[in-house]
Amino acid sequence: MNSVLGSRRTALLLVGPALLVYTAITLVPIFWSFGYTFFSGGLISGFTFAGLKNFQTFFTDPNAWNALGFTLKYAIIVTIGQVAIGYLLALLYVFFLRRASSFVRTVVFFPVVLPTVAVSLLFQRMFQLTPQPGPANAVLQAFGGTGTDFLGHADSAFWVLIIMDIWRSMGFYAVLLFAGLVDIPDEIIESARLDGAGGWSLVRRIILPLSAPVLLSSVIFSINGTLKVFDSVVALTNGGPGNATTPLTLYMFQTAFTYGDYGYGSTIALMLTILCLIVTVFIFRGSRRDLTKA
């Protein structure tokens, strides 16, 4: 009995300080922000109780719906790109470049450790039109095309942002998925090959089901990260042109800190949190149904 109490006290002594810090840094701001959702105004203008008005405003705000639409479209495309390309690179490491995989992994992972601002400046230079055409416009002009202001048009700015974030993060998912693939026993792979499985059949019937847990984790990491995208958008387009590339996170930041409406900004943050939870639960339940059918 004394040993059990001693173990509990030791665990509380070791975990307690970290739990207090976590509560102070994470949980307190969450509840504080939730409280702001029932008020309008800010620190300078003062707070006024608004009840559920902020929630009503959100559902009738066209800018919020535009930001939500951009966020969902961006998150779906970038998640598919990051995980799919990362998985293909991981398969390439395992089956074709095992001897040189350390060098290749270093090269592919390198963009992950680059600062977001540096990557954004690189892509701005690559796609700029003035004062000197970047490589993308130089290639277009070399083949007889005209220069294009890629970051000055909504559609092209969106796709430049997509390309940049996929390139910047696919190395992380390649290494993460590689770690899952190398855990697959070689005996299973060799047995499947002896039974006639090879190429796409081997990947679809053997490798993909066995790597499903790490693949699911990668999808959840990616979708939650892309739903909360902020730094790369601010560094590359700052939400422009106009508000064409403004996600919910940037709209929340502008509402709270540029326009001083902490209540409505907190409401947007709460809606984004709920969206992340819904998407995560949907992915988990969908994967469990697939595993049950399998």
172, pLDDT greater than 70: yes
Round to whole Å and give the CA distance between 109 and 88: 14
Per DSSP, the three-state class of 242 is coil
3-state secondary structure 4-70: HHHHHHHHHHHHHHHHHHHHHHHHHHHHHHHHHCCEEEECCCEEEECCCHHHHHHHHCHHHHHHHHH
Is 266 within 8 Å of 34 (Cβ atoms)?
yes
91, pLDDT greater than 90: no
Query: In this predicted structure, what is the pLDDT of residue 99?
Result: 55
Least confident of 50-54, 186-190, 206-210, 243-247: 186-190
4, pLDDT greater than 60: no
Percent of the chain predicted with pLDDT > 70: 90
* Most confident residue range from 19-28, 44-53, 183-192: 44-53
For residue 127, name the pLDDT band (cuts at 50, 70, 90): very high
252, pLDDT greater than 80: yes
The predicted-structure confidence for 28-51, as pLDDT tens digits, reads as follows 888 888 888 999 887 777 788 998
Round to whole Å and give the CA distance between 178 and 169: 14
The predicted-structure confidence for 231-243, as pLDDT tens digits, reads as follows 999 999 999 898 9
Across the range 63-81, mean pLDDT stands at 95
Round to whole Å and give the CA distance between 58 and 264: 8
229, pLDDT greater than 90: yes
For residue 157, name the pLDDT band (cuts at 50, 70, 90): very high
Peptide bond preceding 241 in cis form (omega within 30 of 0): yes
Query: In this predicted structure, what is the pLDDT of residue 289?
Result: 58
Query: In this predicted structure, what is the pLDDT of residue 106?
Result: 78
The predicted-structure confidence for 114-124, as pLDDT tens digits, reads as follows 999 999 999 99
Hey, which residues does 47 pair with through a beta bridge?
41
Is 82 within 8 Å of 220 (Cβ atoms)?
no
Is 73 within 8 Å of 244 (Cβ atoms)?
no
Between 203 and 79, residue with greater pLDDT: 79
Q: Of 257, 290, 276, 286, which Cα lies nearest the Cα of 43? A: 257
265, pLDDT greater than 80: yes
Across the range 206-225, mean pLDDT stands at 88
Query: In this predicted structure, what is the pLDDT of residue 14?
Result: 78
Peptide bond preceding 29 in cis form (omega within 30 of 0): no
